[in-house]
């Protein structure tokens, strides 16, 4: 008979709930960072990453270039340039930065300061649209060049390493979760702009990736791994037949712009072969107010990319990123923004959240796949006609993809709760308060701006008004509230603009640090590098 004073604990009863074991590295990943898939499969997966990042690459110039005074020719050249620089930045990040399978592409974070530059007073007297486009582009280039120094200094000096040393699993939860969930305005609202295209994409994507693999058993995971290619091809062909069949012939212009596959004129305007080069728009111009606004956006992008890097490492089945590696990645991302300014993309760069979610869908975290996708970006940016064909994919299709991929990144943040003591009231306070305030504070500024026509922070000092609004304002960038006069306070920004909801990431992160989330007792991250640790073959097959 076993002694009463010691011995093993009794086995749990059959009806007793047993918690799932905590995993430092995500299991069931087919290919992790250093175990590339076969070349044919890797090429298809790389092309899939290219398709996913193409949405942001096309949507941002489509929204900005017409406001800058450019036409279809300028729009096609900006898309080519943004795609070309994104490929270079992705290669730099995968070889010299964090060396994670992270795609570096255009970001909505930099859209609002670009719009503030478009509406700046020094460009209002230019009558010729093409000259106005060139002047605004040069001003945007100068602002991006100055803003890049912030991330370069933070990354390579080690300042960001000292900050990320305080990241515990508890503080990573809102940081990563809101990096995905905070972009909800770019999901179903984009789908609803053309429901007959966007909604079938969501349904087909979910059916192919989640249900068919359980109904049809094949030797290799084909359907869930290439669900994006299947769903985009099916719905794109369906949208093409609707377009040539005259389904939108009598629809409003706004509906046609979202639903038609020939809406943008990119194919006819794009050159057959063109290599983007630095200073192609002319010498950059510099303005203190514009540079300060862009630097504020660069800081927001820095925080957002930190959360996305953590999600990428998790879905690539790597251990948590060491602070030194994370800081180095931010430094190389700053170099990427510098390249954006030199080449003239009219937009800055951050880690692509949607491509981080694609890692979860495919369960392939190989670095080689992302490097191949960078090759596709560069190839199709040089061969403009071929790249423009893929750029004609309707935006609601990408909105449907975002609904799935942003959700994956958000759930990655919630998965870090397994390392936290959820029975602690202090943990509950820090977790709930940080997430709630990260959503509630931006909502206050949204409501204030919607009623008053301008934000609560407006001043005659242009650099102060621009920067302060930028660090707190959060909503949809596509609807600027123009306010030409603020009574006794006149803002030379000439408009209050809306930041993507990713601003809530920054707010929630600082709430965690201020409330002591980094000092909460509990497990800490295992900083063992970003490569696959030696482990059983069943967890990460080669």
Among 170, 398, 67, residue whose Cα is nearest residue 390: 398
What is the rounded CA–CA span in Å between residue 410 and residue 454? 31
What is the rounded CA–CA span in Å between residue 298 and residue 350? 9
What is the rounded CA–CA span in Å between residue 355 and residue 101? 9
* Main-chain dihedrals φ then ψ at residue 99, nearest 5 degrees: 60, 30
Q: Quote the pLDDT of residue 14.
A: 56
Q: What is the pLDDT of residues 504-520, one digit of tens each?
A: 555 566 556 555 555 55
According to DSSP, residue 246 is labeled: T
What is the rounded CA–CA span in Å between residue 238 and residue 196? 10
**What phi-psi label fits residue 128: left (phi over 0), alpha (psi between -120 and 50 degrees) or beta?**
beta
* Concatenated DSSP letters of 481-540: B--S--TTS--TT-SB----TTHHHHHHHHHHHHTTGGGSSS-------SSPPS--TTTS
CB atoms within 10 A of CB 450: 12
**Statement: residue 69 has pLDDT above 60:** yes
Helix (H, G, I), strand (E, B) or coil at 101: coil
Q: How confident is the model at residue 196 (pLDDT cuts 50, 70, 90)?
A: very high
Q: What is the pLDDT of residues 396-455, one digit of tens each?
A: 999 999 999 999 999 999 999 998 988 899 999 989 998 888 888 888 877 877 777 666
Among 342, 334, 323, residue whose Cα is nearest residue 299: 334
Distances (CA, A) of 352 to 44, 175, 180, 356, 396: 19, 15, 11, 7, 18
**Statement: residue 542 has pLDDT above 90:** no
User: Which token pair is 199?
Assistant: 């909604």
Q: What are residue 349's DSSP bridge partners?
A: 106
User: Which token pair is 461?
Assistant: 């000092």
Largest separation between any pair of C-alpha atoms in the chain: 96
What lies within 8 Å, CB to CB, of 83 at 6+ separation is: 54, 57, 377, 378, 380, 381, 387
H or E stretch including 105?
A: strand 104-106
What lies within 8 Å, CB to CB, of 432 at 6+ separation is: none
Q: Quote the pLDDT of residue 305.
A: 95
**Statement: residue 486 has pLDDT above 90:** no
Helix (H, G, I), strand (E, B) or coil at 106: strand
What is the rounded CA–CA span in Å between residue 341 and residue 470? 20
Among 232, 241, 253, residue whose Cα is nearest residue 393: 232
Q: How confident is the model at residue 525 (pLDDT cuts 50, 70, 90)?
A: low
Confirm if 176 and 310 have CB atoms less than 8 A apart: yes
Q: What is the mean pLDDT of residues 514-535?
A: 51
Q: What is the pLDDT of residues 221-275, one digit of tens each?
A: 899 899 999 999 999 999 999 999 988 888 888 888 889 888 657 787 888 999 9
Q: How confident is the model at residue 483 (pLDDT cuts 50, 70, 90)?
A: very low
Q: What is the pLDDT of residues 339-396, one digit of tens each?
A: 999 999 999 999 999 999 999 999 999 999 999 999 999 999 999 888 888 888 999 9
Q: What is the pLDDT of residues 1-49, one digit of tens each?
A: 445 555 556 665 656 666 777 777 888 888 989 889 999 999 999 999 9
What does pLDDT average to over the chain? 83
User: Which token pair is 108?
Assistant: 């909505």
Q: Quote the pLDDT of residue 478.
A: 36
Q: What is the pLDDT of residues 310-349, one digit of tens each?
A: 999 999 988 888 999 999 999 999 999 999 999 999 999 9
**pTM > 0.75:** yes
* Main-chain dihedrals φ then ψ at residue 296, nearest 5 degrees: -60, -40
Q: What is the pLDDT of residues 169-180, one digit of tens each?
A: 898 999 999 999
Q: What is the mean pLDDT of residues 132-161?
A: 96
Q: Quote the pLDDT of residue 190.
A: 93
Confirm if 208 and 234 have CB atoms less than 8 A apart: no
1-5, 163-167, 490-494 — which one is most confidently predicted on average?
163-167
Residue 179's Cβ-side half-sphere holds a number of Cα atoms within 13 Å equal to: 34
Which stretches of 349-424 are DSSP H helices? 353-362, 367-382, 384-391, 395-415
Better pLDDT: 67 or 507: 67
What is the rounded CA–CA span in Å between residue 66 and residue 88? 26
Helix (H, G, I), strand (E, B) or coil at 462: helix
Among 156, 149, 160, 153, residue whose Cα is nearest residue 291: 149
Residues in the chain: 542
Confirm if 531 and 215 have CB atoms less than 8 A apart: no
Residue 493's Cβ-side half-sphere holds a number of Cα atoms within 13 Å equal to: 38
Q: What is the mean pLDDT of residues 77-86?
A: 96
State CA 85 to chain mean position distance.
Answer: 16
Helix 111-118 to helix 39-68 angle (10° resolution) is 30
What lies within 8 Å, CB to CB, of 58 at 6+ separation is: 79, 264, 266, 391, 393, 395
Which stretches of 248-366 are DSSP H helices? 253-259, 266-269, 288-315, 323-343, 353-362
Residue with token string 């690459």: 57
Q: Quote the pLDDT of residue 9.
A: 60
Q: What is the mean pLDDT of residues 292-309?
A: 93
Q: Quote the pLDDT of residue 445.
A: 77
């Amino acid at each position: 008979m076993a002694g009463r004073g010691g011995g093993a604990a009794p086995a749990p009863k059959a009806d007793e709930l047993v918690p799932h074991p905590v995993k430092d590295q995500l299991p069931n990943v087919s290919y992790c960072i250093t175990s590339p898939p076969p070349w044919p499969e890797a090429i298809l997966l790389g092309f899939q990453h290219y398709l996913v990042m193409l949405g942001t690459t096309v949507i941002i110039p489509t929204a900005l270039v017409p406001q800058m005074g450019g036409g279809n020719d300028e729009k096609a050249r900006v898309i080519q340039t943004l795609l070309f620089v994104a490929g270079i930045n992705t290669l730099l990040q995968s070889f010299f930065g964090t060396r994670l399978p992270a795609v570096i592409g255009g970001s909505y974070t930099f859209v609002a300061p670009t719009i503030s530059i478009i509406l700046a007073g020094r460009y209002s007297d230019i009558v010729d649209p093409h000259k106005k486009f060139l002047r605004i582009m040069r001003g945007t280039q100068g602002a991006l060049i100055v803003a890049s120094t912030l991330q370069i200094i933070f990354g390579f000096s080690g300042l960001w390493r000292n900050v990320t040393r305080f990241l515990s699993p508890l503080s990573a939860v809102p940081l990563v979760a809101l990096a995905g969930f905070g972009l909800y305005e770019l999901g179903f609202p984009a789908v609803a702009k053309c429901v007959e295209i966007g909604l079938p994409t969501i349904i087909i994507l979910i059916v192919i990736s989640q249900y068919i693999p359980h109904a049809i058993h094949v030797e290799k995971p084909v359907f869930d791994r290439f669900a994006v290619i299947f769903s985009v091809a099916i719905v794109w062909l369906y949208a093409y037949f609707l377009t040539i069949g005259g389904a939108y012939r009598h629809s409003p212009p706004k509906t046609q712009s979202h639903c038609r596959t020939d809406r943008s004129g990119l194919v006819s305007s794009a050159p057959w072969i063109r290599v983007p080069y630095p200073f192609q728009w002319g010498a950059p111009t510099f303005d203190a107010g514009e540079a300060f606004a862009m630097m504020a956006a660069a800081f927001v992008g820095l925080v957002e990319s930190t959360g996305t890097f953590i999600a990428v490492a998790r879905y690539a089945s790597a251990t948590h990123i060491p602070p030194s590696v994370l800081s180095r990645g931010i430094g190389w991302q700053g170099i990427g923004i510098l390249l954006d300014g030199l080449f003239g993309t009219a937009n800055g760069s951050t880690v692509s959240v949607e491509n981080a979610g694609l890692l979860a869908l495919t369960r392939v975290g190989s670095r080689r796949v992302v490097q191949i996708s960078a090759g596709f970006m560069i190839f199709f940016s040089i061969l403009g006609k071929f790249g423009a064909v893929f750029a004609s994919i309707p935006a609601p299709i990408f909105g449907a993809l975002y609904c799935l991929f942003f959700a994956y990144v958000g759930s990655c943040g919630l998965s870090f709760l397994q390392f936290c003591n959820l029975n602690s009231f202090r943990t509950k306070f820090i977790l709930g308060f940080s997430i709630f305030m990260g959503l509630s504070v931006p909502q206050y500024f949204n409501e204030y701006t919607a009623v008053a026509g301008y934000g609560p922070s407006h001043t005659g000092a242009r650099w102060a008004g621009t920067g302060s609004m930028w660090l707190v304002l959060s909503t949809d960038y596509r609807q600027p509230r123009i306010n030409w006069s603020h009574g006794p306070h006149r803002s030379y920004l000439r408009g209050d603009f809306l930041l993507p909801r990713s601003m809530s990431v920054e707010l929630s992160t600082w709430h965690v640090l201020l409330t002591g989330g980094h000092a909460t007792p509990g497990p800490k991250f295992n900083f063992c590098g970003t490569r696959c640790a030696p482990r059983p073959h069943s967890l990460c097959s080669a």
